[in-house]
Amino acid sequence: MTTTELYNELNYVNHSREKRTYYANLVINNPTLVSKLLEILFKVDDKISPRAAWVFEFMCSDDIEAIIPHLDFFTKNIHKVHLDSAVRPIAKICELIANAYTCNDDNKIKTALSTTHKERIIETCFDYMINDEKVAPKAYSMSTLFLFGKEYDWIYPELITILERDFSNQTAAFKARARHILKKIKKA
């Protein structure tokens, strides 16, 4: 399948779990499509970009190690994504990567994720925290930053400052996640 054919296929993706799962499985079963999917995802001003992000998120949720050959390209470009419906899946993928990296189980993410990759993810997540993003990307970013804060001691003080500063102006969902993260930081 060419990039153009994949682009046209993504017109059929919608918010339904069924469609996103179908196309995620299509990509998982055809690994050569991953780079094409990412190429479409990072056409950040294109209306199809969020659909590619949804499919990529489902693919990563199913098999996070499938991102490994594409970590460099992914982390180099995540800061460019700005459409709300594409930012949320990017933030979720960052959280999936952080979970895999910090979990107790052995996996290939632990060896594939470089310091540069982590720094790019951390920078993007802090951007999501301080910019005018919706709650979901902020919530995923809080979790990602908490997890990477186990390795980088400068993250927790910065994260605490942002959470406490923004707490009173945010939604109930933000406050709930922030309380949870702050409690975990205090235990750490």
DSSP-derived letter for residue 188 is: -
Specify the pLDDT at position 171.
Answer: 87
pTM for the full predicted model:
0.95
User: Do 97 and 23 fall within a single domain?
Assistant: no
Q: How confident is the model at residue 175 (pLDDT cuts 50, 70, 90)?
A: very high
Q: Domains in the chain: how many in total?
A: 2
User: Do 19 and 88 fall within a single domain?
Assistant: no
135 contacts 170 by C-beta, under 8 angstroms? yes
Q: How confident is the model at residue 169 (pLDDT cuts 50, 70, 90)?
A: confident
In angstroms, the CA 180 to CA 57 distance is 24
DSSP 76-131: HHGGG---HHHHHHHHHHHHHHHHHHHSSS--THHHH--HHHHHHHHHHHHHHHHS
Express each pLDDT in 98-120 by its tens digit.
999 999 999 999 999 999 999 99
Domain housing 18: 1-62
Q: Tokens 């939604």 label which residue?
A: 171
Express each pLDDT in 48-101 by its tens digit.
999 999 999 999 999 999 999 999 999 999 999 999 999 999 999 999 999 999
User: Do 42 and 73 fall within a single domain?
Assistant: no
User: Do 49 and 131 fall within a single domain?
Assistant: no
